[in-house]
Chain A
Amino acid sequence: MVIKDSSKTERNEIVSFHDGFVFVVDDNPVFLVVLEEELKSMLPEARVMTFRTGEECLSNIYLAPFLIVLDYDLSAGDKCGFNGIKVLREIKKKVPAAEVVMLSGLDDLKIVVRSMQCGAFDYVLKGEDALGNMRSKVGHVLRKLRKKEAYGGSKELKWFFKWLSISLLLFETGI
């Protein structure tokens, strides 16, 4: 699915993870639906979008999703196009703050390491417990984002107290 939006602007910055975009990329339409439904139930306020190829995902990356669930092997749907790692690299170039959870049917440590080296947040193996694992990884992503948000808030408080202490000092010294 490619959004044709005339008001398309380069955003590339995550505004909020509460009602932001979540992308799911998988060349397997059946698995794509399962993942979409799962993420919709986990993140009811987020806008979940699905793509069957890496190219479709990248052409919509300006929407700056805060979370992307990306299939490692997109070779069946994207024969001459992008594989998961290539898409991951492009995502990280364009939206570095986006958290990417890689998904694969291949139980291979090399793939896990390669995904992490390219900036993936985590890796989920497609299997009976894939949804359970994904739920847990998405939970980790959300906790990380909440921490980031909370840290942003405390930074502002820090500045406020700094300003307050300077004001008090100036008041005490009579300036």
Chain B
Amino acid sequence: MKEESLFNYNTLMLYVNGNNVLGERIKRMIVAEIPKDLAKMEAALHKEDWGFVGAMAHKIKPIIQMCGNKKLYDCVESIEKDGKQHLALHTMGSRLRNLKLQIALLLTEIEHHTQY
């Protein structure tokens, strides 16, 4: 059975109005930018700066949405909400670890994705 794809190129194409060149540029940017934001999120988690964890989740949320991954989007959105409202903080560490793992898989998929 084929594994479910984490990256949906068609969703990204909706965002860039079918512009393949821009789509490729955005893919490279996603691969370059998301790890930086995740690192900032982790640093904020260690400092227990929950507001900033939420703010970083908010920042990466539209990028995840562009990748067409609803499950991952919901995960980021829940981290955003709970971070901003200081809720379920005891689960934040494990949720962030899971998010990091899922995003690593997503980025690998994006890197190996070809439009043809």
Q: Which residues does A use to contact B, with CB under 8 Å?
A: 27-31, 33-34, 37-38, 41, 73, 75-77, 79, 105-106, 126-128, 130-131
- Asked whether, in the complex, the Cβ of B56 is within 8 Å of the Cβ of A105, the reply is no
9 sampled A-B residue pairs with Cβ under 8 A: A28-B60, A28-B62, A30-B30, A37-B19, A38-B17, A41-B17, A76-B59, A105-B62, A130-B62
A29 to chain B, nearest CB (A): 6
- B61-86, CB under 8 A of A: which get 1 and which 0? 11101100000000000000000000
Residues of A within 8 A of B14 (CB): 128
The answer, among A79, A106, A127, A131, for a CB contact under 8 Å with B17, is A131
Instruction: Write the residues of chain B forming the contact surface with A, with a CB cutoff of 8 angstroms.
Output: 11, 14-17, 19, 22, 25-26, 29-30, 33, 37, 40, 51-52, 55-56, 58-63, 65-66
Residues of B within 8 A of A31 (CB): 62-63
Chain A facing B: main interface SS: loop
CB nearest to B54 among chain A residues: A75
Query: Is B63 touching A28 in the complex (CB atoms < 8 A)?
Result: yes
Nearest first, the 3 A-B pairs at minimum CB distance are A76-B59, A75-B55, A76-B55
Tell me the bound Cα distance from A49 to B29 in angstroms. 19
A75 and B26 contact, CB distance less than 8 A: no
Query: Within 8 Å CB of B56, what residues of A?
Result: 76
Q: Which residues of B sit under 8 angstroms from A29, Cβ to Cβ?
A: 29, 33
Asked whether, in the complex, the Cβ of A73 is within 8 Å of the Cβ of B58, the reply is: yes
By the criterion CB–CB under 8 Å, are A73 and B26 in contact?
no
- Give the docked Cα–Cα distance between A36 and B59 (Å): 17
Contact B63 A30 (CB under 8 A): yes
Q: Which of B16, B25, B52, B62 contacts A126 (CB 8 A)?
A: B62
A126, B77: Cα distance in complex, Å: 13
Chain A residues with Cβ under 8 A from B11's Cβ? 128
On whether the beta carbons of A105 and B29 are closer than 8 Å, the reply is no
Residue of B22, B25, B61 near A105 (CB, 8 A) is: B61
Q: Which residues of B contact A105 (CB under 8 A)?
A: 58, 61-62
20 further interface pairs, Cβ-Cβ under 8 Å (given A37-B19, A75-B55, A126-B61)? A28-B59, A28-B62, A29-B33, A30-B66, A34-B22, A38-B17, A41-B17, A75-B52, A75-B58, A76-B37, A76-B52, A76-B55, A76-B59, A105-B61, A105-B62, A126-B62, A127-B65, A130-B62, A131-B15, A131-B17
Across the interface, do A79 and B26 meet the contact criterion of CB distance under 8 Å? no
CA distance A38 to B16 in the complex (A): 8
- Residues of chain A lying within 8 A (CB to CB) of residue B61: 105, 126
